[in-house]
């Protein structure tokens, strides 16, 4: 028999195909494997959280992880909320750090309605009344100017079991249109 005749037979072709498949399967088995992860997620109260302040405005909503402050701004008069909301460390044993970080503001830059405000300032004070940081929205023509310019405070270390206050100061120009609304979203980024 010729070698060509033997190699063209179906059983030899099948055996060659089977050996090739086994070689691929064994090579693949060395490459693929799986890991197992089983997270357990428990609902709990945040360690750093919001609490109502002595000047939290009426019709505001303050929960542990979210707050909506119903603030006002008066034309040609500075309005100050000395204790608009508290940022509290409920850990009795350890300090934790956080920072305020700008997320969004509407009306957006370039809108003529931005001119209805002169500034909106958020100032953080520690438990002794010492100013720790501020995040300021000041208006220049039709644009919001953030201070700090990167839109976030430095990291602040709040001691164990302490409440810090957030003071809010607003001012609108004498020509402001009554009824205009500004929505600011600020995140409080916490390091536990």
Residue of 104, 112, 130 whose CA lies nearest to 175:
112
Calculate ∠ Cα 35-36-37, nearest 5°.
125
Distance CA 40, CA 48 (A): 22
pLDDT at position 93, please?
96
Residue of 137, 132, 4, 24 whose CA lies nearest to 71:
137
Global confidence as pTM: 0.80
Which CATH architecture describes the domain 48-191? Sandwich (2.60)
pLDDT at position 7, please?
53
**What pLDDT, in 10s, does the model give residues 28-53?**
555 667 888 999 999 999 999 999 99
pLDDT at position 21, please?
73
Positions of the chain with pLDDT lower than 50, given as ranges: none
**Average per-residue pLDDT for the chain:** 91
Q: Which residues 6+ apart lie within 8 Å of 111 measured at CB?
A: 142
pLDDT at position 15, please?
73
pLDDT at position 31, please?
62
pLDDT at position 8, please?
59
Distance CA 153, CA 100 (A): 5
């Amino acid at each position: 028999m010729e070698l060509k005749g033997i190699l063209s037979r179906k059983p030899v072709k099948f055996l060659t195909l089977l050996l090739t498949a086994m070689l691929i399967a064994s090579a693949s088995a060395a490459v693929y494997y799986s890991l197992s992860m089983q997270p357990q997620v428990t609902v709990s109260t945040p360690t750093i959280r919001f609490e109502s302040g002595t000047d939290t405005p009426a019709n505001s909503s303050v929960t542990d992880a979210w707050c909506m402050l119903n603030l006002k701004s008066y034309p040609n008069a500075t309005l100050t909320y000395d204790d608009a909301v508290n940022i509290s460390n409920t850990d009795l044993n350890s300090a934790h750090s956080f920072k305020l970080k700008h997320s969004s503001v509407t009306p957006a830059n370039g809108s003529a309605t931005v001119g209805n405000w002169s500034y909106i300032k958020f100032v953080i004070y520690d438990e002794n009344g010492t100013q720790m940081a501020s995040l300021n929205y000041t208006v220049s023509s039709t644009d919001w100017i953030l201070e700090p310019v990167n839109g976030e405070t430095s990291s602040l270390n709040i001691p164990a079991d302490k409440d810090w206050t957030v003071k809010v100061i607003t001012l609108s120009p004498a020509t402001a249109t009554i009824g205009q609304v500004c929505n600011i979203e600020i995140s409080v980024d916490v390091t536990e």
